[in-house]
Amino acid sequence: MTPRPFIVAIDGPAGAGKSTAARRIASRLGFALVDTGAIYRSVALAASREGIAFDDDARLGALLPRLTIRFEPLPSGGQRVLLSGEDVSSAIRTPPMSLGASAVSARPVVRAGLLELQRRLATAPENRGAVLEGRDIGTVVFPDADAKFFLTASPEVRARRRFEELRQKGDPQTYEQVLADQRKRDRDDSSRAVAPLVPAPDAQQLDTSGMDLDAVVAALAAAVEDRLSRRAGRR
Ligand code: DC
């Protein structure tokens, strides 16, 4: 039997450095990249366009099977997010969609409905491996992942990184607004009943507050390469 692709799980709160680390590790190893936050964001976008409240379980449940969410690699190393064929990469990154994604992600009907999609995207037959970034990859989506990381950083460092990112896109939010939104999301994501943001017991934890992203990538890549060679050795 062909073993399932090698799975790297990167969890943690917003602004901890997950996206950059996940993108660079995936590109270094030639693995697929699954940005699960983008999936929740796409659901929030589709719901808001259809006037569906973020806590309307019946309508959210009916919406999910009608959506197709895919990722398409870009030559630059990043990827586009396609929602029912439309490129929504920018539309899902606005502050209202950050809060919307956090709200829909607390609904068990949404989490259950997206589980299969996340697993399918990661284990597609053409993938040698996959890097998934999110909140519950190591605890719920792939509890048996081959390498698990939980990245954190202080709230101020994370808000500063997010603020710089939004400013470069021309978003007028102040640092204080970004920090306040982030505190709300942290509280909601960590206290929800289903799949709260908690480290898996076997995740390697890394506080990236004082680290630059090259150092974060180097630390994670070294650990992944070690696991990869051990898995190859077991065959
Ligand atoms: O990583 P992000 O900021 O794009 O995620 C947006 C929201 O989606 C986040 O507030 C929590 C939710 N999310 C989740 O609950 N589980 C995941 N695996 C990924 C994201």
Domains of the chain: which residue ranges? Answer: 8-227
Measured from the CB, is residue 136 less than 6 Å from ligand 1?
yes
Per DSSP, 48 falls in state H
The tens digit of pLDDT for each residue in 177-216 reads 999 999 998 998 888 888 888 999 999 999 999 998 899 9
CATH code, 8-227: 3.40.50.300
**CA angle, 89 then 81 then 106, to 5°:** 90
Measured from the CB, is residue 11 less than 6 Å from ligand 1?
no
Closest atom, ligand 1, to C-alpha of 36: 19
**Per-residue model confidence (pLDDT) at position 196:** 84
Residues 156, 182, 218, 201, Cα dihedral to 10°:
110
**Per-residue model confidence (pLDDT) at position 235:** 61
**Per-residue model confidence (pLDDT) at position 77:** 72
* CB-CB contact of 43 with 54 (8 Å): no
Measured from the CB, is residue 12 less than 6 Å from ligand 1?
no
Measured from the CB, is residue 54 less than 6 Å from ligand 1?
no
Q: Give start and end residues of each alpha helix (H) in the chain.
A: 18-29, 36-49, 57-63, 95-104, 108-122, 155-168, 175-191, 213-234
User: Which amino acid does the sequence have at 233?
Assistant: G
The tens digit of pLDDT for each residue in 89-142 reads 999 999 899 999 999 999 999 999 999 999 999 999 999 999 999 999 999 999
Q: What is the pTM of this model?
A: 0.93
Average pLDDT over residues 163-169: 89
